[in-house]
Amino acid sequence: ETGVTQSPTHLIKTRGQQVTLRCSSQSGHNTVSWYQQALGQGPQFIFQYYREEENGRGNFPPRFSGLQFPNYSSELNVNALELDDSALYLCASSAGGIPPYEQYFGPGTRLTVT
Amino acid sequence: AQTVTQSQPEMSVQEAETVTLSCTYDTSESDYYLFWYKQPPSRQMILVIRQEAYKQQNATENRFSVNFQKAAKSFSLKISDSQLGDAAMYFCAYREDGSGSRLTFGEGTQLTVNP
């Protein structure tokens, strides 16, 4: 069974640029959630995708957007990067529709905005 | 909105001893799940233990157990026979039943295990 993977591991971007982060869900999982974890804080929910549709969103502006593909992998896109977007971005997958919807996390992508 | 509070930013314990991490939460819902996650320096968030709110019995996973007090909205984690590998950031998390998989996390407790 393949776990959740994320790419890239690290990246550095300049303020105003755009970035795409990728996540491959665990085998058999059809739901992907994205979280932002600023340094020294707990993760904050960005949004969730279930069967290729956005299915819940946290308090993040529209410049945070996402996609889920037919194989249930997902992308997180952030436009017009700001310094405060520097964080660890975590992806988690789960088997939606099957309680308790337990989530399995990937290792994260560390984004630094300069 | 649901909130999760961890009032202990840092805790330390001697190897082989017992430590308890505290968590309180606020919700008006009656059906929900509570979790403890462990995040070592490798950054991978690992599920330690889960508690369903409708269950009165406290969850136990080997050396890890919880004290779930629904009326007090308290959910503490007890680690027995602490090991060096238990050193990590521990997060308490809440999920409302029917909300899909959206988790609300606390701010975390950094646990140090001293040899």
What's the pLDDT tens digit per position in B72-96? Answer: 999 999 999 999 999 999 999 999 8
Q: What contacts B107, CB < 8 A, 6 or more positions away?
A: A41, A42, B5, B6, B9
Q: Looking at the predicted structure, is the pLDDT value of residue A78 above 90?
A: yes
Mean pLDDT over all residues of chain A? Answer: 92
The whole-number pLDDT of residue B60 equals 94
Q: What average pLDDT does this structure show over A1-11?
A: 89
Provide, as residue numbers in chain A, all residues whose Cβ is less than 8 Å from the Cβ of B43. 88, 107-108, 110
**A61-88: string of b/e by CB count within 10 Å (b at 16+)?**
eeebbbebeeebbbbbebeebeeebbbb
- Cα Rg of chain A, angstroms: 13
Backbone angles phi, psi at A83, to 5 degrees: -55, -35
Interface mutation target, options B101, B102, B103, chain A, most CBs of A under 10 Å: B101
Extract the tokens encoding B40. 């070592």
Rounded Cα distance between A107 and A105, Å, is: 7
Shortest distance between the Cα of B80 and any Cα of chain A, in A, equals: 24
Provide the pLDDT for residue B56: 86
Q: Which residues of B touch A102 (CB under 8 A)?
A: 47, 50
Model pLDDT for residues B2-61, shown as the tens digit of each residue? 899 999 999 999 999 999 999 999 999 888 999 999 999 888 899 999 999 999 899 999
Instruction: Tell me phi and psi for residue B86, to 5 degrees.
Output: -80, -10
Q: Which residues of B touch A94 (CB under 8 A)?
A: 101
Span A81-101, average pLDDT: 87
